[in-house]
Amino acid sequence: CEMALGEFLKEIKKNPSSVKFAEMANILVIHCQAADDLIQLTAMCWMREFIQLAGRVMLPYSSGILTAVLPCLSYDDRKKNIKQVANVCNQSLMKLVIPEDDEMDEARQSTTLLAEPTSEEFVSKPEAASIGQGSLTKLDKGALNQPLSFSCSSERIQVTLNLDGIVQVLDCHLHDTSIGMMTRIAVLKWLYHLYIKTPRKMFRHTDSLLPNLLRTLSDESDEVILKDLEVLAEIASSPAGQTDGHGPSDSSDAQPSLVELQVPDRAGQLSSSGMKGLECSPSTPTMNSYFHKFMINLLKRFSSERKLLETRGPFIIRQLCLLLNAENIFHSMADILLREEDLKFASTMVHTLNTILLTSSELFQLRNQLKELKTPESCNLFCCLYRSWCHNPVTTVSLCFLTQNYKHAYDLIQKFGDLDVTVDFLTEVDKLVQLIECPIFTYLRLQMLDVKKNPYLIKALYGLLMLLPQSSAFQLLSHRLQCVPNPELLQMDSTKATTGLRGTTVSNIDYTELLQHFEKVQNKHLEARHQRAGRAEQLD
């Protein structure tokens, strides 16, 4: 039988013009899922040749082909041959999808010579791997009843790509946590490829795909997460995802399947037409309608899975900063966190974002933009970050150090005496002292040489020193301050000193109002801690 099939395949390759590829496609799909390795390998080899010989004629059978091929990509070395052929089939099929597939009108689908087979005519679900003989007979009949046959010269004949079946198969495989890593990566590569080649059609499926894509961020494999982030970034930035306040992707109308953060409405910031005003600052390109929705749901994911935030949060955010605009991400997340009702999560998330901002090489440009505060846009970003950073007092001070707002940093530290100084608070002060010794704050340490120009920097550092118990961090900062020249200059009239700021634009920032906002946010945190402590006492 194997020899006879080999001869048949040779004849097909010699005379492809007389072959009815379409009528045999479903038969191959069935046998590509056979339990017997030899049958599966033989069928897969035939499938490889069919895709290469018939080209786009095989596109209508993509759902069935993917159902058969994708699981094989995770086979181990015992089925190495099947895996290799399946990989060729997968790559060849992917190349058949072209940008022109996105331009075809829905009306033309009824007039095309070849329509997508129904789910009964081919295997469109992962469970079909265990298909029985009864179903085989049914599928064979469906294949043999095809009214038209196609030769290899029929590539010029119009074939409409119907994505519904393909997306359904990809979504099922992505949802199935038992499938192998290579299969998950292949699924994500397919989704990315489809969003690149046929974005208009793909965005009709985005709302149904998003929950699974967000869940995939919890995957054990870094490679899977990277591919997942590429797909999510494409969804968030593609022009095809922009809507004008209507349609399935309207950001003001979240789908019920997408659980979002509880973000109370704030006057002047949210409107019935969506959240486009919050998506980015004026200096950055506008993201599409899905960008803000993605940011909200990503933060929701971090909120519900604290372990994901601890283990993968920085990795995910750093990668997103490479794939998307970093300023957009920080601006949007800061705005969402400002209205977050879970204050403990808001404080933790702000601390994570601040650490990424101060330490990640990917954010070098954004740090420089904030360090100088030379433009209205950078000042706007600083104010936006500041208001959210107020959830965490120590990160607020570090933001002021980064932006060279030393006078304001000193004013903030003076307020620390009114706060609830906990062990966690002192630990964060300790980490800030360690951070000051890092290369990122080299400019700050050099500015300590000019006491006359930067007295509030010295005062702020002495303020941190007074907050610390006599620990290793205390010794570290104390030794650093001993290197400051001419300590008697610290007693100069502070009214004659500068605030350590550069440029004239920053004078437009209302620091008194920012300080009042800081006090207001911290009072909320104090109230919440007292409520938690009260509940804990009642439970005891």
Domains for the chain: give ranges and CATH numbers.
1-97+159-237 (1.25.10.10), 289-486+506-537 (no CATH)
Residue with more model confidence, 304 or 284: 304
* Contact call for residues 281 and 378 (beta carbons, < 8 A): no
Cα 217 to Cα 243: distance, rounded to the nearest angstrom: 26
pLDDT of residue 30: 95
User: 433-446 pLDDT, tens per residue?
Assistant: 999 999 999 999 99
Phi then psi dihedrals of residue 339, to 5 deg: -105, 15
What one-character-per-residue DSSP string does 384-397 give?
Answer: HHHHHHTTSHHHHH
Name 90's Cβ contacts closer than 8 Å, sequence gap at least 6.
Answer: 66, 69, 70, 73, 186
Cα 275 to Cα 445: distance, rounded to the nearest angstrom: 41
Closest CA to 151 of 29, 294, 54, 63: 54
- The two tokens of residue 120 are 């009964």
Average pLDDT of 71-77?
93
Share the mean pLDDT of the chain.
80
- Long-range CB pairs of 363-369 (<8 Å, 24+ gap) are 363/318, 363/321, 363/326, 365/326, 366/326, 366/327, 366/330, 367/402, 367/440, 369/327
Name 493's Cβ contacts closer than 8 Å, sequence gap at least 6.
Answer: none
* Contact call for residues 92 and 100 (beta carbons, < 8 A): no
- The two tokens of residue 22 are 């379409």
* 459: number of Cβ within 10 Å: 19
* Contact call for residues 96 and 61 (beta carbons, < 8 A): no
Percent of the chain scoring above 90 in pLDDT: 59
User: 10-37 pLDDT, tens per residue?
Assistant: 999 998 988 999 889 999 999 999 999 9
Looking at the predicted structure, is the pLDDT value of residue 209 above 90?
Answer: yes
- The two tokens of residue 338 are 């400002």
Average pLDDT of 296-301?
95
- Long-range CB pairs of 86-90 (<8 Å, 24+ gap) are 86/44, 88/48, 89/44, 89/47, 89/48, 89/51, 89/65, 90/66, 90/186
Position 245, amino acid? G
Q: Which helix (H) or strand (E) holds 380?
A: helix 376-389
pLDDT of residue 523: 86
* Contact call for residues 126 and 173 (beta carbons, < 8 A): yes
User: 131-180 pLDDT, tens per residue?
Assistant: 333 333 333 333 333 333 333 444 445 677 878 999 999 999 999 888 99
Cα 393 to Cα 413: distance, rounded to the nearest angstrom: 9
Give the E-state strand segments of 1-101 in sequence order: none
Instruction: Read off the pLDDT band of 197 (50, 70, 90).
Output: very high
Per-residue HEC secondary structure of 217-239 comes to HHCCCHHHHHHHHHHHHHHHHCH
User: 348-383 pLDDT, tens per residue?
Assistant: 999 999 999 999 988 999 999 999 888 899 999 999
Average pLDDT of 43-53?
95
pLDDT of residue 486: 63
pLDDT of residue 434: 94
Out of 43-47, 63-67, 284-288, 332-336, least confident range? 284-288
Rg (C-alpha) for the chain, rounded Å, is 30
Looking at the predicted structure, is the pLDDT value of residue 490 above 80?
Answer: no
Cα 359 to Cα 214: distance, rounded to the nearest angstrom: 26
Name 184's Cβ contacts closer than 8 Å, sequence gap at least 6.
Answer: 173, 174, 216, 219, 221, 224
Name 294's Cβ contacts closer than 8 Å, sequence gap at least 6.
Answer: 210, 232, 235, 236
* 127: number of Cβ within 10 Å: 11
Per-residue HEC secondary structure of 410-433 comes to HHHHHHHHHCCCCHHHHHHHHHHH
pLDDT of residue 112: 44
* Contact call for residues 170 and 66 (beta carbons, < 8 A): yes
Cα 87 to Cα 105: distance, rounded to the nearest angstrom: 32
pLDDT of residue 451: 86
Out of 142-156, 180-194, 524-538, least confident range? 142-156
Phi then psi dihedrals of residue 373, to 5 deg: 50, 50
SS3 129: helix
**Proportion of the chain in helix, strand, coil states, percent, rounded to 5:** 70, 0, 30
* Contact call for residues 330 and 381 (beta carbons, < 8 A): yes
* Contact call for residues 170 and 65 (beta carbons, < 8 A): no
Position 393, amino acid? P
* Contact call for residues 218 and 308 (beta carbons, < 8 A): yes
pLDDT of residue 498: 54
Average pLDDT of 498-526?
75
Looking at the predicted structure, is the pLDDT value of residue 260 above 70?
Answer: no
Out of 30-34, 202-206, 287-291, 500-504, least confident range? 500-504
Looking at the predicted structure, is the pLDDT value of residue 276 above 50?
Answer: no
* Contact call for residues 26 and 64 (beta carbons, < 8 A): yes
Residue with more model confidence, 214 or 262: 214
* Contact call for residues 351 and 395 (beta carbons, < 8 A): yes
Cα 30 to Cα 123: distance, rounded to the nearest angstrom: 7
Phi then psi dihedrals of residue 312, to 5 deg: -125, -10
pLDDT of residue 122: 39
